[in-house]
Amino acid sequence: MTDSTRITEPVGARAPVRTRASGPVQPALPLSSPRLDDFEQAGTGPFPRFVPEDTAACLDVFRVLRPDGTVIAPDPALENGTGVADDDALAMLRTMVRVRALDDRMLGLQRQGRIGFYGAATGQEAATIAAGHALELRDWVHPALREGGILLHRGWPLWSYLAACFGNADDTSTRGRQMPCHYGSRQYNYVTLSSVMATQYPQAVGTAYAMALQHAAPDRPVCLGCIGDGATSEGDFHAALTFAGVMRPRGLGLPLVLYCQNNQWAISTPVERQTAAASLAMKAAGYGLIGARVDGNDALAVLRVMRAAVASARAGGVPAFIEAVTYRVGAHSTSDDPTRYRDEAVTQRWKALDPIVRLAAYLATRGVLVPGDAERMATEADDEVRATLAQVEKVGPPPIEWLFDDVYAQVPAALAAEREALRARLAAAPGAAHGS
């Protein structure tokens, strides 16, 4: 790697205050389950140097804000002492609040049986939205289950988001073919989610390769691959990191950022049962990638680290694998009951580290928000969701043609015959169209 491809923050950012004990890491026990105390006490590791040798960044967790929104180590060399402009912080907060309102509403809807399933990102809004905010619109996203908010942040209409949850005739994500939450938009460069764990990860590598062949560095689009902690155990994860390390189109690193939201649970399985490694970020080293760890509940920290990773990738540096440590404060999905397998007292402590509260408090100290603003934002978001919902819910089911379209570019003759047989049957017995 050349110096020009190495991303460094302004020097001031490299001299952080380390409030938690440094020194050699105790190797005895797997540390993959992050220590809650550290998150509550909120020291910070140094800003990652974005060089493969920086293995400390794979264990230390980088933070900008304390849980109460105060800045851990204000740096006069950086804009606002945090390295994040107020406009950026505010834009992220707006979407985070919107996603929270949406998740709350949709969970309620699911309980009433109005939608079939929902996977919320509650508590992970910073990890999601700040990662998305680090991208440009021309950059692509290969998402995992909980990144739908990135699409909204990019300007995708709420209407489309909700239609995907109903699988109705306005569902452009999957045309009523997948369960709710499998968002996708070609226009917004967000690849439709598959339920199958980890498959998107090697695909993100390939997308980045194609970008590199068709655009010259340093001005080229970047691909963001997303994954959950559980899915890092899949073979596809290993395949992706292997390829990401060795593929060097035009002699440069791929325009790729591999991102992982470690929310510490995969349904009932805790992250320490997924890996005995000291962290997920550590895995990067074995593949020759850059690894770094960031507090996923700190939007500013995620943005800083992801911006650096994206800039490095755009310029042709070694791709990074970034672990955002967060917590799944809710159930895995609406068909899950976490009280059966985990201590919800711990969940409550993570809940107290709420990313929205943290960012809103920070913006209040900056004078960007005045008292009442955050609440108003939440109410407005909920109003918008409710009003849109009322309309989207009226949209009917997809036409029966959508059963047969898109299997191939053209509907084959045999399939067309199946479609006509179905049409004839429905014409003879219209009741069947609505199911029994």
Ligand X SMILES: Cc1ncc(C[n+]2csc(CCOP(=O)(O)OP(=O)(O)O)c2C)c(N)n1
Residues that bind ligand X (CB under 6 A): 145-146, 195-197, 228-231, 263, 265-267, 328, 332
203 binds other proteins (CB under 8 A): no
What, of Mg ion, other proteins, ligand X, none, does residue 145 touch, CB below 5 to 8 Å by kind? ligand X
Q: Which is nearer to Mg ion, 171 or 229 (CB)?
A: 229
196 binds other proteins (CB under 8 A): yes
Give the three-class secondary structure for 319.
coil
Q: Which is nearer to other proteins, 234 or 393 (CB)?
A: 234
Is 52 in contact with 285 (CB distance < 8 Å)?
A: yes
- Residues 6 or more apart whose CB falls under 8 angstroms from that of 362 comprise 65, 69, 70, 71, 82, 89, 300
Distances (CA, A) of 16 to 74, 78, 93, 389, 420: 9, 13, 25, 46, 68
Q: Which is nearer to ligand X, 41 or 195 (CB)?
A: 195
Residue with the closest Cβ to ligand X? 228
Smallest distance, ligand X to C-beta of residue 341, A:
13
Smallest distance, Mg ion to C-beta of residue 121, A:
11
147 binds Mg ion (CB under 5 A): no
Q: Which of 244, 210, 227, 249 is nearest to 145 (CA)?
A: 227
- Residues 6 or more apart whose CB falls under 8 angstroms from that of 262 comprise 34, 228, 229, 271, 280, 296, 323, 324, 325, 326
**Alpha-carbon gap, residue 264 to 342, rounded angstroms:** 11
Q: Which is nearer to other proteins, 11 or 394 (CB)?
A: 394
Smallest distance, other proteins to C-beta of residue 112, A:
15
**Alpha-carbon gap, residue 221 to 211, rounded angstroms:** 6
Q: Which is nearer to ligand X, 226 or 363 (CB)?
A: 226
Smallest distance, ligand X to C-beta of residue 156, A:
20
Smallest distance, ligand X to C-beta of residue 193, A:
10
Q: Which residue type is seen at 421?
A: A
119 binds Mg ion (CB under 5 A): no
Q: Which of 174, 192, 232, 263 binds Mg ion (CB under 5 A)?
A: 263
Is 45 in contact with 60 (CB distance < 8 Å)?
A: yes
Contact stretch for Mg ion (CB under 5 A) within 73-81, 152-160, 179-187, 222-230: 222-230
The angle that helices 86-111 and 125-133 make with each other, rounded to 10 degrees, is 130
What, of ligand X, other proteins, Mg ion, none, does residue 146 touch, CB below 5 to 8 Å by kind? ligand X
**Alpha-carbon gap, residue 249 to 389, rounded angstroms:** 45
For 266-293, b/e burial (b = at least 16 CB within 10 A) is beeeebbebbebbbbbbbbbebebbbbb
167 binds other proteins (CB under 8 A): yes
Is 194 in contact with 200 (CB distance < 8 Å)?
A: yes
Q: Which is nearer to other proteins, 28 or 429 (CB)?
A: 429
319 binds other proteins (CB under 8 A): no
Q: What is the DSSP letter of 135?
A: S
423 binds other proteins (CB under 8 A): no
Distances (CA, A) of 64 to 8, 22, 69, 362: 17, 18, 9, 10
Q: Which of 268, 348, 365, 379 binds other proteins (CB under 8 A)?
A: 268
403 binds other proteins (CB under 8 A): yes
Q: What is the DSSP letter of 230?
A: G
Count of residues of this chain found to bind other proteins when the rule CB under 8 A is applied: 52
Is 120 in contact with 100 (CB distance < 8 Å)?
A: no
228 binds Mg ion (CB under 5 A): yes
What, of Mg ion, ligand X, other proteins, none, does residue 415 touch, CB below 5 to 8 Å by kind? other proteins
Q: Which is nearer to other proteins, 35 or 425 (CB)?
A: 425
Whether cis (ω within 30° of 0) applies to the bond prior to 74 is no
What, of Mg ion, ligand X, other proteins, none, does residue 186 touch, CB below 5 to 8 Å by kind? none
Cα-trace Rg, the chain? 22
119 binds other proteins (CB under 8 A): no
Q: Characterize the bridge pairing of strands 265-266 and 269-270.
A: antiparallel
Of residues 224-243, those binding other proteins (CB under 8 A) = 230-231, 233-236
Q: Which of 23, 372, 414, 430 binds other proteins (CB under 8 A)?
A: 414
Residue count of the chain? 436
Smallest distance, other proteins to C-beta of residue 171, A:
8
Is 272 in contact with 32 (CB distance < 8 Å)?
A: yes
**Binding positions for other proteins, rule: CB under 8 A:** 116-117, 166-168, 171, 174, 176-179, 182, 194-197, 230-231, 233-236, 266-269, 273-275, 335-336, 340-341, 397-398, 400, 402-404, 407, 414-415, 418, 422, 425-426, 429, 432-436
